[in-house]
Amino acid sequence: MKKNVMTIVLAIMLAMLCALPVFAQGTKESAAASAAPVKISLWYGAAITEAGPPPADWVALQIIREKLNIDLELTALPSNESDQDVKIQAAGAANNLPDVFMVRRDAWLRLVNQGLIAPVDSLYAKMPVRTAAQYDSASIAFTTVSGKSYGFASPGSISKNEGLLIRKDWLDKLGLAIPKTTEDLAKVLHAFTYNDPDGNGRNDTYGFGAFLEINNYEGGLGRRLQPILGAFGVEGTWNLTEANAGLSVRKPEMYDAMVYIKSLVDDGSIDPNWLAYQKDDFRAAWKQGRFGVMREQNAAYAATANYAPFDKNFPDGEWIVIDPPVGPKGHSSVGPYTTGYRIYAISAKAAQAGKAEKIAELLEWMSSDEGYYLLGWGVEGVNYVKDANGIPVDKDMPLGFSTATGQTVTQLRNMVFFNGDVELYARYPKYVTEVSKKEMSALDVLRDMESRKWTPNNGGDTLPAPNADLKRFYEQGLAEFLTGRRVLNQQNWNAWIAEFDRVGGKAWEDAGIAHAKANNLLY
Amino acid sequence: MTRITEKTRKTPALDLYRRQKRGRLWREVVRHRSAYLLLAIPFVYYIIFKYGPIWYGQIAFRDYRALDGVLGSTWIGFKNFLTFINSFYFWELLRNTLMYSFGKIIFSLPLSILLAITIYEATGTKLRKTVQTLTYLPHFLSWVIMYGILLTLLAPGDGIVNDVIKFFGGRPIDFLTNTKAFPWIVILSDAWKEMGWSAIIFIAALMGIDMSLFEAAMVEGANSWQRVRYITLPSIRPVIVVVLLLKIGTILDAGFNQIFILYSTPVLSVADIIDTWVYRQGLLQFEFGLATAVGLFKGAIGMSLILFANWMTRKVSDTGIL
């Protein structure tokens, strides 16, 4: 017994001896912890998806650590939007979201409803410079749910930055005028398909090029066909006019638009690959001279690197921006436009851990002169220099911000850019093409595209999205009418619309109109 | 025989016996420690990735909210299962899934057996190795690359196949967006991609056949076809049955990666399978409970089918995996 007691006493003493340094160390560590950098994880949308992430020894990370006492961990989101949603939602499902992250609105709304995102209303005042540059009442409204703002909506892609383009050299060769109406357009598309506009003696060109690119406010047949749908007044998923509010697909004019597009498909005037194309296939196709009319984005068409292959293949080729065609009832539009935003949200977990104010500090620094130029263009003298007008340029600089290596240090530029003039001039400089020696400017193209006729659709991207089954029914039905799997006549169309309503189409429209009214989106 | 009661259970002799038995087991483990160490790796893998997640399977029966956690979320019974079964496209999804699964079994399995036998019977070593290498290489290509190859081959505008059709005066076929052609593209492209890889297991089985059987058959005057029919096929029948049974166990996995890459809006009616629906409805719409319910549903169906098929094959050929 005595022996046992001695053993127990010795064991307790040994345990205490072991534990003492732990407690002592703990005290020391907690004191040190207050001075240690705050770890903040950031999931960002890369500015140039094909370029790599910023280097590990990136100077911005060092400055952030030294000046802000923040240890910033960067993770690039996938380039594909659906993959982005999956990554973020999977992290959300495990309550393991990063501290701050870029997120698309649909996924963001789901996370808000799950209580996984922190409200940020109190943080705007802590970021005076950034708020003045990036956030206004419209952007705050974009992230407001039940009276609270659940994220920062930074300016996204420039609105009205696409246009209807036509091969001017093909028109000239065939002696055709620029099409003004849908009738003219059909004739031009037919001629481009069957009259050998490139003069190579082969029947290998088509009139119109497209692919299915669908988003919340350009549903159904998607963005690329909007100039044709616009001629019938049914561009965009939603019509947001007070007098005619509702889903475009439920308007009688949609049937007329479908009949017109079907006639183009039947004539063979639309590149038959259009339903199988992905974005890159489409872009490779126009550069190979496969079609002569398309809706394309200003930089994707005219920026130096993007135009170069076309310039090389067709030194005498020339695209010009034209007005969208006018339809039988006088309608005309390139498509709907809305103000684009990128949402950066703070996870509820980060807010609970007391990181929200530190994140605001980080974002404010990003919008300071130092952060803005560093994240936007890199280090002055290394990645860019300023020209006489104060515009960053990188001509002949081996690590220039537009070179493959230099691009990596501008991957976070979407967090600081607000589509200001300096950015646009720097991003879209005038240049002379290598082969044809044409002077080009994606900025001039942008200004031209902006001046064409567009349909306002502000808030169209915030309206309720259809559920997965209804979305499938909607998109599949339209595609099937065009491919001939469903015969397109008024009777079949009416039956399909009735079925669409039964699956939930009418309820979707009612919910959308109610949301639009409640948020003053109708005009 | 002495009946073991509470009283006898406590006897020193029995205790000693048990201690000795435990000691022996431990000594055996120590003696074969290298084998047990090797076993530890898959053991840990299965614990973490296969058995651990079973705990989370309960969210199929809950209205899962990440903030509340697995245990904090409300029980909703079979609501998630009913949502799936009552889905507008349920029967179409089930039909497509089964169509692709069975289609792949019907085409891929005989093709890989045929390829294995052909390679085994081929006499030229170099030719045999070349064919084998060329046929299993596509297995290592991702479906993204395969899509690029298929587009180059089958695109209606400038695909090589359509160029040939046009050369002979035919009308181009929109293989990838045509509901009639699409299922064949899926099944045949999968057969092409996986045929060589699947043949490896059959080649291994063929290597195990006693050569004297072939020699005896040749002496008796059996031709090649007869040797294949009466020796080769019966000899590898157990392997064929096992492979078939394993495939039946995953009958509701019709190949998410492949379909997801290949499908497009015009062919959804014949391309949408359970897994692509789960991706859209479950993951993109934040319905993780629903996605889990469908996973459980698939697992239950797969297990039932494998048990049934195993029972059937035991009845018919006395071969099985259980």
Q: How would you write B238-289 as a 3-class SS string?
A: HHHHHHHHHHHHCCCCCCHHHHHHHCCHHHHHHHCCHHHHHHHHHHCCCCHH
What pLDDT shows up at residue A83? 87
Contact A92 B265 (CB under 8 A): no
Contact A472 B268 (CB under 8 A): yes
pLDDT at position B24 over 70: yes
What pLDDT shows up at residue A24? 41
B251 neighbors B301 (Cβ within 8 angstroms): yes
Separation CA B275–CA B259 (nearest Å): 9
Contact B286 A290 (CB under 8 A): no
Question: For residue B155, which residues of chain A lie inside 8 Å, CB to CB?
Answer: 273, 276
Separation CA A159–CA A455 (nearest Å): 11
- Other beta carbons within 10 angstroms of residue A440's beta carbon come to 20
Residue pLDDT, tens place only, A416-445: 999 888 899 988 888 999 999 999 999 999
Question: For residue A95, which residues of chain B lie inside 8 Å, CB to CB?
Answer: 66-67, 69
CB hemisphere CA count around A131 (13 angstroms): 14
Q: Which of A414-423, B49-58, B197-206, B244-253 has the lowest mean pLDDT?
A: B244-253
Residue pLDDT, tens place only, B193-204: 999 999 999 999
Residue pLDDT, tens place only, B86-97: 999 999 999 999
Q: Which of A110, A111, A469 faces B89 most closely, judged by CB atoms?
A: A469
Tokens, residue A156:
């996204």
pLDDT at position B4 over 80: no
Contact A92 B66 (CB under 8 A): yes
Contact A89 B284 (CB under 8 A): yes
Question: For residue B174, which residues of chain A lie inside 8 Å, CB to CB?
Answer: 272, 275-276, 483
Query: Which amino acid is present at A448?
Result: D
For range B65-72, the mean pLDDT: 90
What pLDDT shows up at residue A30? 44
Residue with tokens 């390829």: B115
What pLDDT shows up at residue A33? 47
Q: Which of A272, A471, A480 faces B156 most closely, judged by CB atoms?
A: A272
What pLDDT shows up at residue A27? 43
Separation CA A224–CA A218 (nearest Å): 9
**How far out from the chain centre does Cα B211 lie?**
31
pTM: 0.80
Confidence of residue B7 (pLDDT cuts 50, 70, 90): low
In chain A the domains, ranked by start, together with CATH numbers, are: 38-158+340-419 (3.40.190.10), 162-337+431-519 (3.40.190.10)
Tokens, residue A196:
């050998």
Separation CA A336–CA B265 (nearest Å): 22
What pLDDT shows up at residue A451? 97
In chain A, which residues have pLDDT < 70?
1-34
What is the least distance, in Å, from the CA of B128 to any CA of chain A? 38
Question: For residue A107, which residues of chain B lie inside 8 Å, CB to CB?
Answer: 286
**How far out from the chain centre does Cα B310 lie?**
15
- 3-state SS class at A329: coil
For range B270-276, the mean pLDDT: 94
pLDDT > 70 in chain B, percent: 95
Separation CA A462–CA B222 (nearest Å): 75
Residue pLDDT, tens place only, B221-234: 888 889 999 999 99
Neighbouring residues of A58: CB distance < 8 A, sequence distance ≥ 6: A409
Phi, psi of A79 (to 5 degrees): -75, -30
A377 neighbors A392 (Cβ within 8 angstroms): yes
